[in-house]
Structure 1
């Protein structure tokens, strides 16, 4: 019983000492909030607007592959729009959330709507790794 109490006291002390202390090199942002976070490894996201059809068969034949964006654009497309032949733009599609094509394709294959990048104008928001974390070949 005494051993259990001693262990609990030690754990509580360790928790307070490890959680409550900040390195002296971290700037005080006020109210005891010390900002000591390295965000240099974050990538950037940009919008690519009104892009012409790519005529790249990889979009057309990608099926439900959720990584074809990395293969073709070296980044993660997080949302996109398609311009129909009538000139009307779709709403935003998010890969894996609301972007399955309802059209039945050859061989009853399923595909994502970004397959229309092949022959439609399109816009997208893409996030790419920074120079430190770039992919080989990109």
Structure 2
């Protein structure tokens, strides 16, 4: 019993003494926030506005493929808008959330709204990996 209490005290002391210790290379950024996180591999997101119709047939032929953005744009399109022929813009579509086309297409196939990139002006927000993580063939 006494030995168990000694072990418990030692463990408690070790936990308290190791809590908050940071490597000596970490600078304190205030409020106990130490800057030791490497975000060099983190990608970046940008908005691409008013892109003309792409005429890339892969958009309408991709069906509900959620990776066609990687194949065509080398990134993850996280939201997009379509400019209709009337001149008005759609609201934001988010792939896999609210972007299924309700129009009946050839062969009753399903497709995402980004299929309209083929023949409509469009805008999108795309996230791409950093240089060290790029897919082969991507710029």
Q: TM > 0.5 between the two?
A: yes
Shift of 1:65: 0.5
Q: Which runs of 4+ in 1 moved over 3 A?
A: 1-19
Q: CA 1:122 to 1:9, structure 2 compared with 1: closer, same or farther past 3 Å?
A: farther
Q: Describe the shift of the 1:108–1:39 C-alpha distance in structure 2 as closer, same or farther (beyond 3 A).
A: same
For 1:100, the equivalent position in structure 2 comes to 100
Structure 1 gap ranges (5+): none
For 2:39, what is the secondary structure of its paired residue? coil
SS of 2:132's equivalent in the other structure is: helix
Tell me which moved more, 77-86 or 35-44. 35-44
Q: Tell me the distance in 2 between the aligned counterparts of 1:16 and 1:26.
A: 20
Equivalent runs, 1:1-138 vs 2, <5 Å: 12-13=12-13, 15-138=15-138
Shifted more, 55-64 versus 29-38: the winner is: 29-38
Other structure's SS at 1:56 match: coil
Aligned length: 138
RMSD across aligned positions (CA):
1.9
* Structure 1 residue 20 displacement after superposition: 2.1
Unaligned runs of 5+ in 2: none
Q: Normalised by the size of structure 2, how large is the TM-score?
A: 0.89
Counterpart Cα distance in 1 of 2:127 and 2:40: 15
Q: Distance in 1 between matches of 2:89 and 2:75?
A: 23
**What is the distance in 2 between the residues matched to 1:4 and 1:107?**
73
